[in-house]
Amino acid sequence: MRSFIFLCDLSTEQECLDRKLFGTNAGEGFQLHYRHIAVGDRLFLYNFELGLMRGPFTALTACINNLEPKAWKQTRRSFPWQVRVAAADSVVGTVRADDFAKIIPLTATKVGLLPPPELLDQQAAALISLLRASP
């Protein structure tokens, strides 16, 4: 089982949660990481504008092209590679970047500090512990 982090912002987060759908573009992240997603993999959703990580979620599908072609169109965004998700636990937690940055390195990018798209097993386990302990 592998672990992946998807990104969202204030304009896309609620749609991700409502549709139970995470998405990405066909760029380098997809080629190197997201195309390897398999049913049962652990997924997390990181809102880079708020610095909040949500999860854990479970992949119900592989990352498929245009699973829901109309997703994110109201925000005029395009994330054609999509994966259907379900909450991995009965409660999905949230944790702030300040708290998980001790276990998951953040990299400065043009949109802010971002976690890596894929986690090591130890990082995922530590993140899940933080999420389960969150209020």
DSSP 31-69: HHTGGG--TT-EEEEEETTTTEEEEEEEESS--EETSST
Evaluate if residue 26 carries a pLDDT over 90: no
Question: 3-133, what's its fold?
Answer: ph1033 like fold (3.10.590)
Residues 81-89, mean pLDDT to the nearest whole number: 91
Phi, psi of 20 (to 5 degrees): 55, 50
Tell me the C-alpha to C-alpha distance, in Å, between residue 121 and each of 1, 30, 43, 55, 103: 9, 20, 12, 15, 11
Q: Please give the pLDDT value at position 91.
A: 67
pTM to 2 decimal places: 0.93
Q: Which two tokens stand for residue 59?
A: 């992949």
Residues 27-44, mean pLDDT to the nearest whole number: 88
Provide the pLDDT confidence category of residue 107 given band limits of 50, 70 and 90.
very high
Q: Tell me which of 92 and 43 has the higher pLDDT.
A: 43
Domain boundaries in the chain?
3-133
Phi, psi of 89 (to 5 degrees): -120, 175
**Which residue has 């937690």 as its token pair?**
93
Query: How many whole angstroms separate alpha carbon 105 and alpha carbon 134?
Result: 20
For residue range 2-18, what is the model confidence (pLDDT) as tens digits? 999 999 999 999 999 99
